[in-house]
Amino acid sequence: MDKNFTPAEVADIAGIPKTQLLEWEKEGKIPPIPRDEHNHRTFTAEQVSSVVQLAGPVIRRRISVVNQKGGVGKTTTTFNLGACLARRGQRVLIMDLDAQANLTISFGHNPDDIQKTSYDLFTDDSVTISQVTVKTDYGNLFLVPADIRLAGADAKLREMLVRERILDTKLEPIRDAYNFILFDCPPNLSTVTINALVASSDAIVPIETQFYSMKAIDDLTSTFDLIKRKMNHAIKTWILPTKIDRRVKVHTGMLTMLEQNFGGRLLTPIKTDAKLASAPMIKAPVIYSYPGSRSAHDFERLTMEVLAQ
């Protein structure tokens, strides 16, 4: 499962020159770097993590993966981006905020068997973030699961004061514990979604170009504007076209339009790949289940784009 990294890759991830790595090794700031059978230096994910921390300033970002439209690839994006970031040495927490609990299931959990989930975090004052965080099989990657009760969270939250800031407040104790926190939002603009946005520095909006509607983006943009006005909180928004088939003319036309509308905010699209549809069933991110595949490559590239921002 574990990939090793070349010094060039590590330097790239940590945003430092390669020579700096070798200097740190000489100065003993990092442990001697193991060599492979060809005597090339090779880093484990854990060592990459220590280099990233040493390189500072530590990246700390919270990203909502959000679109009120269903089935556009939010969960697929959260799952695969989270796994790629973690493999690149980042400490990552991903939170399932959808009552369907698809993300939780993707990690091999049965939502009915879990004691405490994001629902408890939202609705019970005494429940802390560490009580609802579980380990995954992927080293630096941690999960807050969801369950079906989350569908009733909005009704409960309505009675609470400052109900849009519950999540942000609950995350305060772990502010320095993760490089990335990703929120897999439900397909609606509920109080839970607003909570994720209020707690986020960035939003990635996956869109399916064949069903692309300017109205959905408009509604979402109005929500971002509202949060900015009411809470004085600006969110950096990124558009991620998903399930792209460049052979289909309508896709190409939509991509051109998106480029005109969103320019620098447009991420490189994720192509349609049947492997992505099957990956959650075998419960592994595509970089592990189909390394070297088209979608593994797409998510690696997305990860580099996210790290570069």
Ligand X SMILES: Nc1ncnc2c1ncn2[C@@H]1O[C@H](COP(=O)(O)OP(=O)(O)OP(=O)(O)O)[C@@H](O)[C@H]1O
Cβ closer to Mg ion: 102 or 193? 102
Cβ closer to ligand X: 21 or 267? 267
CB atoms within 10 A of CB 37: 6
Segments in the chain forming alpha helices (H): 7-14, 18-27, 45-55, 74-87, 102-106, 118-123, 129-132, 153-157, 166-171, 191-198, 214-231, 249-262, 274-282, 286-289, 294-308
Cβ closer to ligand X: 75 or 193? 75
134-135 and 141-144 strand pairing: antiparallel
Should residue 243 be labelled a site residue for Mg ion when binding is judged by CB under 5 A?
Answer: no
Should residue 61 be labelled a site residue for Mg ion when binding is judged by CB under 5 A?
Answer: no
d(CA 5, CA 247): 34
Should residue 88 be labelled a site residue for Mg ion when binding is judged by CB under 5 A?
Answer: no
Should residue 78 be labelled a site residue for Mg ion when binding is judged by CB under 5 A?
Answer: no
Query: Residue 273 binds which entry of Mg ion, ligand X, none, with Cβ cut-offs from 5 to 8 Å by kind?
Result: ligand X
CA 150, distance to chain mean position in Å, is: 20
Q: 113: which residues sit within 8 A by CB, 6+ positions away?
A: none
Count, residues near Mg ion per rule CB under 5 A: 3
- What values do phi and psi take at 211, rounded to 5? -115, 20
Q: Point out the residue whose Cβ comes nearest to Mg ion.
A: 75
Query: Residue 1 binds which entry of Mg ion, ligand X, none, with Cβ cut-offs from 5 to 8 Å by kind?
Result: none
d(CA 132, CA 116): 6
Cβ closer to Mg ion: 75 or 289? 75
Q: How far is the CB of 192 from Mg ion (least distance, A)?
A: 13
Binding track, positions 97-136, relative to Mg ion; x by CB under 5 A? -----x----------------------------------
Should residue 74 be labelled a site residue for Mg ion when binding is judged by CB under 5 A?
Answer: yes
At residue 50's C-alpha, the angle toward residues 49 and 52, to 5°, is: 65
> Which stretches of the chain bind ligand X, using CB under 6 A?
70-76, 98, 100, 102, 187, 242-243, 270, 272-273, 276-277, 280
Query: The tokens of 158 are what?
Result: 């309505």
d(CA 59, CA 261): 28
Should residue 75 be labelled a site residue for Mg ion when binding is judged by CB under 5 A?
Answer: yes
Stretch that binds Mg ion, among 66-74, 123-131, 214-222, 229-237 (CB under 5 A): 66-74
Footprint of Mg ion on this chain (CB under 5 A)?
74-75, 102
